Amino acid sequence: MEVFLQQLINGLTLGSIYGLIAIGYTMVFGIIGMVNFAHGDVFMVSAFIGLICVLLLTTVLGMSSIFLILAITLVVAMVFTGLVSWAIERVAYRPLRGSFRLAPMISAIGMSILLSNFVQVAQGPRNKPLPPMVPDVIVVMERNGYQVTLAYKQIIIMVVTATLLAGFWWLVQKTSLGRAQRACEQDRKMAALLGVNVDRTISLTFVIGAALAAVAGVMYLMYYGVVNFADGFVPGVKAFTAAVLGGIGSLPGAVLGGLLIGLIETLWSAYFSIEYKDVAAFSILVVTLIFLPQGLLGRPEVEKV
């Protein structure tokens, strides 16, 4: 029971990070029908931006307030990552919007490789560590010498994720930008005829998705305390798996899928084998695509005749 409770806490924390990344996949797919394979590397770039920002604030400026450092880092990472994603959409995806279906996918893979190699050259191939920012923990329960702990950084990750998701839900449901996004999702040509600026809406969708990935990147850095240029691939693919599991195109589905993937990964590591935790997560993607291709909360695609 103690092990299960500890893995439940760990799984929800990890799932929160996956959920934030998965929203970027599902937003872009929902609005232009394309899987943005570079999104995982955008997440990795944001983690490096967060690392550089934290080191500058602590070593150069001498700041010591953890919450102030974290707040500034989140803002800086969201702004710069949003700019990177805006540039990617403007340069690599928009010119290919009217071409054949595989062209933007190939371009996305190219951007993924470009970002990964750029960070490898700029920052080096080795892991980049960060001193523990929030090391304290709360002992939830103790039995037979086993402590179930809840770290403050886990609380921060869950609270920040829940707050951002609530704000994002309000943005999509209650604002003119959200209405424009939903209109473009249903029919871009009709939305343009009704006065919606489709190009601007799609660009802002990329920026918002990248900003959420930036938050996930900073949370990932704070949680694990290390980042590597290759960290965009596995978390990115798992977040994509979460988006597919929840129903790609569905925002609640992306969050639900992220939490489920996080829980599956941590529970599998605890009760079976940590070496095969990635296999377990990716097996979910295969099983979902075979038996439930629309995902848990996705809408079945109706073929028009």
DSSP H or E segment with residue 177? helix 176-186
Residue 299: pLDDT band (50, 70, 90) is low
Cβ atoms 267, 7 nearer than 8 A = yes
- Rounded Cα gap, residues 257 and 298, in angstroms: 11
Question: How many C-beta atoms lie closer than 10 Å to residue 134's C-beta?
Answer: 17
Q: What is the mean pLDDT of residues 58-62?
A: 87
- Rounded Cα gap, residues 305 and 302, in angstroms: 9
Q: What is the pLDDT at residue 140?
A: 79
Would you state the structure tokens that stand for residue 66, as one six-digit string?
A: 């953890």
Burial annotation 247-271 (CB, 10 A radius, 16+ → b, else e):
bbbbbbbbbbbbbbbbbbbbbbbbe
Domain ranges of the chain: 1-291
For the entire predicted model, the pTM comes to 0.88
Cβ atoms 188, 198 nearer than 8 A = yes
31-41 pLDDT tens trace: 777 788 888 89
Q: What is the mean pLDDT of residues 109-121?
A: 91
279 CB-near residues (< 8 Å, 6+ apart): none
Cβ atoms 28, 18 nearer than 8 A = no
- Rounded Cα gap, residues 33 and 36, in angstroms: 9
Q: What is the pLDDT at residue 166?
A: 86
Would you state the structure tokens that stand for residue 296, as one six-digit string?
A: 């848990």
- Rounded Cα gap, residues 255 and 212, in angstroms: 12
Q: What is the mean pLDDT of residues 66-78?
A: 91
Residues paired with 226 in a beta bridge:
129
DSSP H or E segment with residue 109? helix 102-123
CA atoms within 13 A on the CB side of 128: 24
Residue 300: pLDDT band (50, 70, 90) is low
Q: What is the pLDDT at residue 72?
A: 93
CATH number attached to the domain at 1-291? 1.10.3470
195-247 pLDDT tens trace: 888 889 988 989 988 898 899 899 999 888 888 888 888 888 888 888 888 88
Residue closest to 11 by CA, chosen among 154, 225, 171: 154
- Rounded Cα gap, residues 70 and 57, in angstroms: 10
Please return the burial class of 176, using the count of CB atoms within 10 Å of its CB with bins 0-12, 13-18 and 19+. Answer: exposed
142-174 pLDDT tens trace: 887 788 888 898 899 889 888 888 888 888 888
Say whether pLDDT at 95 is over 90: no
Residue 78: pLDDT band (50, 70, 90) is very high
18-28 pLDDT tens trace: 888 888 888 88
- Rounded Cα gap, residues 177 and 199, in angstroms: 12
